[in-house]
Structure 1
């Protein structure tokens, strides 16, 4: 495989903007393992091998379990995720695949059961950040250094 371009060097201002978004999203108080699970799930959906590899390794380095990293793609059936995490992962999937009709009321209601208004917006920003990174990675042909 060959990377199409190095977006960091071609457009450092865009990279700096992405870092600012990422810093904002990561500093909002979302539990670190949940934040990694959000990034893993969105990266799976978007087919971003680079981000999937990086965030799975990041989660494991912080002490997350291999079971949760592997089972995040089937979180609905996996007992290792609590209801609040499931609500965040459902919101992640919905925002990543954004349906034409928007976020269904029941998805919003499930998330709001566990997250207040500020936390809900923080989750949206986390999903926005990883989706933006995924699109940069996929469009420029990034792949994991394995």
Structure 2
């Protein structure tokens, strides 16, 4: 049973400002829009944030992402649809989103530095932190996805 929860953007709109600023910074980072969306969708799936999953999948489709890739995202390890770089981003996303399990182990971290360099790894980490924060707000306040009109 869903209970009514607060809407933080109405009660304390200033609380969102740092997250919005972080989001806007990431949008201008070394990550492509698609890479950022893959991070947002996969972390939101792991965190069970239906609001964010729906919103980011809709955005990905509008930006030309193929639906077969979106459907395969939870199974990216077994899927031939993702590049080596995308697989690495998804692996890092899962490691950081599930930070209490093992964390971002040194082998994965060093592989990312080798392939992406320090700046992009920093951008990947911050993108993952950003969506995880949004997911926690969405889950804590029981934000509900809005059905698409298209």
Please identify, of 47-56 and 70-79, the stretch whose mean Cα deviation from structure 2 is larger: 70-79
- TM-fit CA distance, 1:100: 5.6
After TM superposition, give the deviation of residue 3 of structure 1 in Å.
4.6
CA RMSD of aligned residues (A): 1.3
User: Could you tell me the TM-score, scaled by structure 2's length?
Assistant: 0.92
Please, which runs of 5 or more residues in structure 2 have no aligned partner?
A: none
Partner of 1:105: 106
User: Contact conserved, 1:71 with 1:78, CA < 8 A, in 2?
Assistant: yes
- Once structures 1 and 2 are overlaid, which stretch shifts more, 60-69 or 109-118? 109-118
Moved more, 136-145 or 94-103: 94-103
Whether contact under 8 Å (2:34, 2:60) holds in the other structure is yes
For structure 1, the 5+ residue unaligned runs are none
CA distance in 2, matches of 1:110, 1:14: 35
Alignment of 1:27-106 (within 5 A): 27-99=28-100, 102-106=103-107
Number of residue-to-residue matches in the alignment:
146
The aligned residue for residue 22 of structure 2 is 21
- TM-score in terms of structure 1 length: 0.94
Tell me by how many angstroms 1:31 deviates: 1.1
| 8 Å contact from structure 2 (residues 95, 102) kept in 1 | no
Rounded to whole Å, the distance in 2 between the matches of 1:130 and 1:33 is 14
Partner of 2:143: 142
- Residues 30 and 119 of structure 2 are in contact (CA less than 8 Å); yes or no, is this contact kept in structure 1? no
